[in-house]
Amino acid sequence: MSKQILVLPGDGIGPEIMAEAVKVLQLANDKYSLGFELSFDELGGAAYDKYGVPLADETLERARAADAILLGAVGGPKWDAIEPALRPERGLLKIRSQLGLFGNLRPAILYPQLAEASSLKPEVVAGLDILIVRELTGGIYFGQPRESKVLENGERMAYDTLPYSESEIRRIAKVGFDMAMVRNKKLCSVDKANVLASSQLWRAVVEEVAKDYPEVELSHMYVDNAAMQLVRAPKQFDVMVTDNMFGDILSDEASMLTGSIGMLPSASLDANNKGMYEPCHGSAPDIAGQGIANPLATILSVSMMLRYSFNQAAAADAIELAVSKVLDQGLRTGDIFSAGMTKVGTAGMGDAVVEALRSL
Ligand code: NAD
């Protein structure tokens, strides 16, 4: 039976990078007889323009029915002035929460060819391979109540709420330990337990889950220290597990260790490994429409999809190898360019990966 993949290119550079990822996916589909059928729809600002909402009900139903979802990125200045509930990012948060995609896997891997593109010294980052496991459907981005208001004295004030239940922490902690088991068996749980009640519960539940994983070496770190350690000595980490907001920030920080956010894929999984796959970066309105965005994060998201949702390790390995070969050839988009390399645009990079994959 064929497998259904819903493709949501989104906004800004989303359609540009997705066009390249789809080329790679279609070649992998043919080459490895994967039996995928692709369908396309809108999310974010593009959905607002077409349907009047950032996530239409029919799109959500198609996403529920699909076996996996491939997403570009959403958002942009065009939609900054619309009411908050209809902003593009609300569509993204809604699809994540409605599909129960609570486990966000964000690898930060430094391709040796890009050691020069990192903002840190090559010896600090050479060989870097971290996996950040971020809780994605709870915490402060979803917590209620949240409010902006004007006090009686005329001063404006606003607040958010950071809730976590035991079961939410337990299930993401298990993802962290499971990932550590298939890697180097080291898990660092990041929290702010010296200040936040939610973090104190987080730490206690992670300790409980650890009892089921005696082989994994567990450590805890406050988020401020983790932010510092990531730039001081990032190779001390194997798997990091953390809440929604801390994971959002730390994974962007980790991305720069690898040279560019344009290199980083991600997977968001539900309890049955159904997933949505997307680059870690946003819609990059500053470079949209210029054909210069790096499509590799989205192409590598295709490889994560093959690995995690479809158990197609050989095809996933081949895509990653094709990316590595293209970097070996010295091809670079602007964000990872360094002297002596050959600058290519979005389509040039996508075509090169397709050629490299074809010749494997
Ligand atoms: P961003 O990730 O879009 O861009 C940050 C910087 O990285 C920019 O200079 C951009 O040009 C560069 N960049 C990003 N992706 C790149 C790529 N593939 N190749 C080359 N350079 C790349 O973050 P931002 O500027 O804070 O946000 C822009 C918009 O994206 C906002 O509307 C924001 O809400 C949205 N956003 C969406 C997502 C998502 O869809 N998952 C994530 C983050 C931000």
Could you please report the per-residue DSSP string of 200-246? HHHHHHHHHHHTT-TTSEEEEEEHHHHHHHHHH-GGG-SEEEE-HHH
For the entire predicted model, the pTM comes to 0.90
Segment 237-247, tens digit of pLDDT: 999 999 999 99
Q: Count how many Cα atoms sit within 13 Å of the Cα of residue 309 in the half-sphere of its side chain.
A: 28
Q: What percent of the chain has a predicted confidence (pLDDT) above 90?
A: 90
Q: What is the pLDDT of residue 11?
A: 98
Nearest C-alpha neighbor of 220 from the set 200, 239, 203, 195: 203
The position carrying tokens 């915490």 is 139
Q: What is the pLDDT of residue 273?
A: 85
Q: What is the pLDDT of residue 102?
A: 97
Best mutation site among 283, 294, 336 for ligand 1 pocket (most ligand atoms within 8 Å of CB): 283
Q: What is the pLDDT of residue 184?
A: 94
Minimum-distance ligand 1 atom for the alpha carbon of 281: 2
Minimum-distance ligand 1 atom for the alpha carbon of 13: 18
Residue 278 parent element (H or E): strand 275-279
Best mutation site among 20, 261, 346 for ligand 1 pocket (most ligand atoms within 8 Å of CB): 261
Which residues in the chain show pLDDT less than 70?
Answer: 1
Residue ranges matching CATH 3.40.718.10 in the chain: 1-102+271-360, 118-269
Entry field: residues in the chain: 360
For residue 153, report the distance from its CA to the centre of ligand 1, in Å.
Answer: 38
Whether the CB-CB separation of 93 and 44 falls below 8 Å is answered with: no
Residue 18 parent element (H or E): helix 14-31
* CATH no. for 1-102+271-360: 3.40.718.10
Name which CATH class applies to 118-269.
alpha beta
Q: What is the pLDDT of residue 256?
A: 83
Alpha carbon nearest to ligand 1 atom 33, residue: 75
Whether the CB-CB separation of 234 and 227 falls below 8 Å is answered with: no
The catalytic site residues sit at 141, 192, 224, 248, 252
For residue 336, report the distance from its CA to the centre of ligand 1, in Å.
Answer: 15
Q: What is the pLDDT of residue 160?
A: 98
